[in-house]
Every structure is written in structure tokens, then in C-alpha cells.
Amino acid sequence: MFVKSLIHPTRYAFPNLPKTFQLTRKMSVLVKSLKYSKHGEPVDVMEIVEGQLQDPKDNEVLVKVLAAPINPADINTIQGKYPVKPKFPAVGGNECVAEIIAIGKNVSKLTTGQHVIPFATGLGTWTTHAIFAEEQLMPVSSKIGLAEAATLTVNPCTAYRMLKDFVALQPGDCVIQNGANSAVGQAVHQLCRAWNIKSVGIVRDRPDIASLKEYLKSQGATEVLTEEEIRTSTLFKENHLPRPLLALNCVGGKSATEVSRHLADKGVMVTYGGMSREPVIAGTAALIFKDVSFRGFWMTRWTKENADSPERIHMFTELCELIEQGKFVAPVHEMVPLQKFKDAMAAVLDFKGFAGKKFILDMQN
């Protein structure tokens, strides 16, 4: 961080002047931000732009961003394919963990040295420093790891809300999901374990499938099957596990149709992504004879509709407690220096959302 002191000379020439006439020390912080001025592929339109920030005013907070993840929604926003349209020039990113380095005179709930995460959406977090309003931030314990804190507000919250809001799940009930090794999928398995809910994960076949299954089971998955295995599995027919009351879909296409076949009567499928870019097709038999319901979920909408709700505060409190207790960890991830942001974004695009790990920008390197 580069800090430039700006001290007015009258403070030294006339030391006995009243304080109202003396200018206090001010800071000018050099900032590096990942910005874009038009929609397009991130590697083409994103660039590091330098600027300066002055002291925070009134209810403002100056933060040093420590880490900020790259989410699929961030990529889609830059491409112009996401419902949220930023004003140009825009700073990318929607999540981060930051440290407060200065506060405005009217800030009352936050203090310097605290770690904070965004409490509002669309702030633009791919930056080394930023000034936000106090109400746009939420403090988190510095005991929480940078990766856990930086990725807290999107994927864990998405998993939490889908498990809470569509079916009244009880201990012993079962959930099934595709994309089980995604960041949301990993969060689902961990929350199911914490709440004594059985979870079945569906993943694509790959050379390291055995180690992937082992890893997901270590996170809390009851069973992990490939998309080929689920088509012939007797896991539910032979009552090895109860039929799922809830299915979570982030893939779409044939994968979604196959997963929905295993739902219990009056089960619910919630779609929160479409990585295959194929539509969700509901089986006629599932609709008529099992009365299966198909719903959708968008975390951004939920956040806007429940910005200051007790449910949102309780969710963050419970998630942070699970992290501090060692019962919830960040998804598989790779920290990438800010200067190498193009490599990380190219990797995300190459894998089309199926990278199997989260790329997190190290904003201080």
C-alpha cells in the first residue's frame, strides 16, 4: 500500500492556531482495481487501473481488500449475460474479505483493524482498496480463514437457503444434487452433515473419480455417484437411503431430468444454475404420478428481498459459528496474485464452470 501524507504548512508556521483553523493529516491511498468499460470476455476487457482514494467521510469506511473470489456470476456479468448490469466503468467482483484501515467520523459499529465482508451486492470487490458505506459491510472474526471469509456471502448462503426454504427437512431426510463438487455442492454436503441430513452427490466421470468421491464423502456426502451410475442405481429402490425430498440442480439438461426421477412423492427440485446450457425437462410421470415441483432460486434476489431480515443475520451467524468450529471449510481453491488475473479467468472459462476449484484473487500480491 502506498500512503502519501498531505499536511498543510500553516499547522507548523502557526502552532497556536485554534483547531478549527488547523488542517489535520490526510491520506492518499494508491489503488489498483480490475475494471472494464464494455461487455466482453474477461481476458479481453478487464484491465488493472490505478487510482487514488482519500480519507473516508462521515459514515464511510476505507478498507484494504485481502482476497476476492472469481465466481461464474462475475464472469457472466462481465460478458453481459447476467441480469445485473453495472454502470461503466465498473469494478468486477461481488465478494471479498477486507481489513478496515480508516473510518469516517460518524462510523459507530465498525473500527479499524476489523475484518469485514460485503453486506450488500454489486459493490465491486476486485480492488486493492475501496471506500464503502458502513451499512454495506459486516464484520467477521479474524479467526476465520481468508478463503472461508472471502467466499462466504454467495455459495454457502445459496446452499443454506435452498436447504432451508423449500422443504422442511428433518434429521434423517435425504437430499440429492448434481454438480456436487461445485462450490455450492461442497457447501451443501457440509451443511447436511452439520444438520444430520443425508446427501447424495452426482458428478461427471473423470480419471480421478475415486479420489473425488473420497473427498466429497470427507465433507459429508453420504454417497457420490457419477451421472452414468445414477441412471442404473438401486440406492433408493432397495431402500439403502430414503428417497430424496429435495433435489438441487445446477447443470440442467439430462442430468436434471435424471436427478428428478429419484425424488420422493411431492418432492421439490430447485434449479440455481445451468452449466450445461440445456433446458430443464420435467418428466411427465414425475409431474402426474409423483406431483413433483420444480422451483428456481437466485441468491441475489433473495438478498435484495431480505437485506435486513433476522433470517439473514441468523444465517451468517450460524455459518460463521460452523466455520469457527471447524465444521465448514472453503471449497477447493487456488489463490492467484492480482497480476495474474487473466490466467485465473482463462482457467474458469476453459472449464466452463466445471473447474472443480475456486480461483481467489490475492489482492495484496
Q: pLDDT of 53-63, one tens digit each? A: 989 999 999 99
pTM across the whole model = 0.90
68 and 170, same domain (yes or no): no
- As a whole number, mean pLDDT of residues 123-148 equals 97
pLDDT at residue 364, rounded to an integer: 87
Outline where 26-67 has alpha helix (H): 42-45
- Same domain for 264 and 344, yes or no, is no
**Of the residues 281, 300, 319, the one at which a domain ends:** 300
70 has pLDDT over 50: yes
Is there a single domain that holds both residue 179 and residue 288?
Answer: yes
In contact, 213 and 196? CB cutoff 8 Å: no
Please tell me the predicted confidence (pLDDT) of residue 351: 61
CATH number for the domain spanning 17: value is 3.90.180.10
Question: Is residue 82 among the annotated active site residues?
Answer: yes
Which residue type sits at 210?
A
Shared-domain flag, residues 165 and 134: no
Nearest Cα neighbor of 132 from 93, 92, 104, 90 is: 104
Q: Is 349 helix (H, G, I), strand (E, B) or coil?
A: helix
**Domain of 204, in residue numbers:** 155-300
The rounded distance, in Å, linking the Cα atoms of 245 and 225 is 18
Of 12, 36, 82, 272, the catalytic one is 82
DSSP element (H, E) containing 99: strand 97-103
Looking at residue 26, its pLDDT comes to 64
Please state whether beta strands 293-296 and 268-271 pair in parallel, antiparallel, or not at all (unpaired): parallel
Does the pLDDT of residue 207 top 70, yes or no?
yes
Tell me if 225 is assigned to some domain: yes
* Number of domains forming the structure of the chain: 2
Predicted confidence at residue 12, as pLDDT, reads 34
Q: What is the CATH number for 290?
A: 3.40.50.720
- 120: burial class by Cβ within 10 Å (0-12, 13-18, 19+)? middle
210 and 334, same domain (yes or no): no
Does residue 307 belong to any structural domain of this protein? Answer: no
